[in-house]
């Protein structure tokens, strides 16, 4: 897609230190009303590209830092590169459905509460949310589901090591919220919550 962008950072020795991926999006509505479903938004960008609709925002899909480079400022550099790309294209803003990095420790707390927890200094409790705040990001809504993952009990056992023997909610390793298992259909649903953040540029 025209305007799609891989953003990579190399550390000494030219090993990959971090990677970000973005897609261009046209969106003029109220930000609180933007689709929560990332799959739907990605499909929308594809349709817009085919229809030659000029994008006005940059939608960030991911920003990943290698384990050995965490805590060294690579995340901030990826975000900076995203903003520079958006400025180069004269976009209005960068939009990010962020996944707070410590939320997995509190999977039973709703994202709408967790996102507004503060530390002793009065800053956002979560380090990833705190970084966005320090860099000028503005949270405009939370979502209980920006990505949905479905799978059978066998698949979930393969993914998590858990045996799903009855209907109910299960805490999965690394999950930001519980996974709901329906034994009748033998399908488990994991809905990943997120905090929507905007970096205004215009």
Where does 5-146+194-200 sit in CATH, by number? 3.40.630.30
Torsion of CA 84, 89, 94, 99, to 10 degrees: -70
pLDDT, tens digit, for every residue of 175-190?
Answer: 999 999 999 999 999 9
Domain map of the chain by residue range? 5-146+194-200, 150-188
pLDDT, tens digit, for every residue of 27-72?
Answer: 999 999 999 999 999 999 999 999 999 999 999 998 877 677 677 6
Please tell me the distance from the alpha carbon of residue 199 to that of residue 202, in angstroms, as a whole number. 10
Is the CB of residue 141 less than 8 Å from the CB of residue 31? yes
Tokens representing residue 11 in the block: 């550390």
Listed in sequence order, the residues at least 6 apart from 37 whose beta carbon sits closer than 8 Å to its beta carbon are 145, 146, 147, 148
* pLDDT interval class at 5 (50, 70, 90): low
Is the CB of residue 162 less than 8 Å from the CB of residue 175? no
């Amino acid at each position: 897609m025209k305007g799609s962008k891989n953003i990579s950072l190399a550390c000494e020795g030219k090993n990959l230190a971090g990677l970000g991926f973005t897609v261009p999006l046209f969106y003029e509505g109220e930000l609180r009303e933007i689709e929560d479903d990332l799959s739907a938004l990605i499909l929308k960008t594809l349709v817009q590209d085919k229809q030659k609709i000029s994008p006005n925002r940059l939608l960030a899909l991911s920003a990943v830092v290698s384990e050995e480079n965490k805590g060294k400022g690579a995340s901030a550099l990826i975000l900076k590169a995203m903003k520079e790309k958006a400025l180069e294209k004269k976009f209005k803003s960068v939009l990010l459905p962020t996944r707070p990095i410590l939320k997995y420790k509190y999977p039973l707390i709703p994202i709408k509460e967790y996102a507004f927890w503060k530390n002793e200094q009065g800053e956002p409790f979560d380090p990833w949310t705190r970084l966005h705040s320090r860099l000028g990001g503005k949270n405009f809504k939370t979502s209980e589901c920006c990505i949905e993952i479905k799978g059978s009990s066998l698949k979930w056992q393969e993914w998590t090591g858990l045996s799903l023997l009855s209907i109910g909610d299960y805490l999965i390793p690394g999950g930001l919220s519980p996974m709901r298992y329906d034994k009748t259909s033998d399908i488990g649903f994991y809905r990943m919550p997120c905090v929507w953040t905007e970096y205004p540029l215009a």
